[in-house]
Amino acid sequence: MSTVAIQPGLAVRCRGVHKWFGKEPNRLEALRGVDLDAVEGEVLMLVGPSGCGKTTLLCVLAGILDRDQGTCAVLGQDSDTLSKTQRARFRASSIGFVFQQFNLMPSMTAVENVATQLLLQGVALREALWRAREALASVGLADRADNRPSQLSGGQQQRVAIARAIVHNPRLLVCDEPTSALDHETGHLVMQSLRQAARERSATAIIVTHDNRIFEFADRIAFMDDGRIVRVEAGTATERKTP
């Protein structure tokens, strides 16, 4: 498989990406030739009906799932050229993740959950905890650092997850429906934190969502259907956020 030319200014560049699940005769084609670019520093939203392949695409981008066809360069790196361990280390250092269900370890406090991301990279425990506290402060949770997830509201938990996703200053943020477990108002707050965190670090954010009420935070919106990107529109975020 050939490597995509690295294009300056592009955090993600995918061409003709295919992904199949299962074996014949039950084989399912989840991605049917995805072309997608993400510009460095932008907030790109990925929307589309359920089952159209959004999560699958995120996983392929992040090197969690192997693509079956096509080319894909993420932060100048083609995951096909990396071993499984190298891909894991690439994710640990360069990508931040936010999941729909937060996925915080219940026995860890907020600051410990955030610090875990740094521990994966070999940062010493003391420094990791200290940097985690700063990341929590940057999402407005300084006073909740020592609470466990069960003592936090859904929105607070998701902001802890955002702190965990940005604590290692990744260049790419990958978020799967970060607001769908939250009510509208809380989702709005979480999106503000997310967008601000990405902006401060000049990180690219790719956010899968069903929730058209958060479109206002997008620089661009890519519409997906049946395993393909069907259309990309400019969002309204930049105009609205810059007075």
Partner 1 sequence: MVTMRRHIDDTHCSEIGLLFIAWKMLSGDMLKYVSMIAGVAFATLLMSQQTAIYLGLAYSAGAAVRDFSGDADLWVMDKAVAFPDDFKPMRSAVIDVVRGIDGVQWASPLLRSSAAMRLPDGTPQRPTVVGIDDATLRGGPSVMLNGQLADLRKDEGIIIDQRQAETFFAFVDSSGVRRSLGVGDRVALGQSSALVVGICRLSEALSSSPVVFTTSSRFRSFVPVEDRQLAFVLVKAAPGQELEDLGARIARREDLLARTPEQFITRTEQYLNESTGILISFSIVIGLGLVIGLIVSGQTFFNFVSDNSRYFAGLKATGMTDGMIVRIVFTQIGIVSLVGYWVGMGLTAVFGLAIVGSGSGFPYRLEAGIPIGTALGVLVVGLIAGTVSLWRVIRLEPAMVFRA
Q: How far is the CB of 92 from partner 1 (least distance, A)?
A: 3
53 binds ligand ATP (CB under 6 A): yes
How, if at all, do strands 69-74 and 10-21 pair?
Answer: antiparallel
Which strand ranges, in their side-by-side order, compose the sheet holding 228-234? 95-98, 172-176, 204-208, 43-47, 220-225, 228-234
**Partner from Mg ion, ligand ATP, partner 1, none binding residue 30, C-beta < 5-8 Å depending on class:** ligand ATP
Among 5, 45, 53, 4, smallest CA distance to 212 is for: 45
The nearest distance, CB 224 to ligand ATP, in angstroms, is 7
Q: Which stretch binds partner 1 (CB under 8 A): 33-41, 123-131, 151-159, 229-237?
A: 123-131
Report the distance separating Cα 174 and Cα 62, nearest Å.
8
CB 204 within 8 A of CB 125: no
Q: Could you tell me the smallest distance in angstroms from the CB atom of residue 102 to Mg ion?
A: 15
Given Mg ion, partner 1, ligand ATP, none, residue 84, with its beta carbon under 5 to 8 Å by kind, binds: partner 1
Q: How far is the CB of 59 from ligand ATP (least distance, A)?
A: 8
Sequence-separated (6 or more) residues with CB below 8 Å from residue 149:
102, 104, 105, 106, 108, 110, 113, 157, 160
Binding at 15: pick from Mg ion, partner 1, ligand ATP, none (beta carbon under 5-8 Å per type)? none
Question: Of 55-63, 130-138, 156-164, 235-243, which segment contacts Mg ion by CB under 5 A?
Answer: 55-63
The interface mask with partner 1, positions 78-107, x = CB under 8 A, is ----x-xxx-xxxxxx-x-x-xxx-x-xxx
CA angle 128, 131, 133 (to 5 degrees): 110
4 binds partner 1 (CB under 8 A): no
CB atoms within 10 A of CB 154: 16
Q: Is 30 in the site for ligand ATP (CB under 6 A)?
A: yes
Torsion 47-69-41-111 (CA) sign = positive
3-state secondary structure of 226: coil
Q: Which of 55, 93, 196, 236 binds ligand ATP (CB under 6 A)?
A: 55
- Identify any residues that bridge with 72 across adjacent strands, giving them in sequence order: 14
Q: How far is the CB of 57 from ligand ATP (least distance, A)?
A: 7
Q: How many residues bind ligand ATP (CB under 6 A)?
A: 11
Strand 228-234 with 220-225, pairing: antiparallel
Among 112, 195, 209, 217, binds partner 1 (CB under 8 A): 112
Asked if 71 interacts with Mg ion (CB under 5 A), we say no
Interface residues toward partner 1, by CB under 8 A: 55, 58-59, 62, 64-65, 76-77, 82, 84-86, 88-93, 95, 97, 99-101, 103, 105-108, 112, 116-117, 119-125, 128, 164, 176
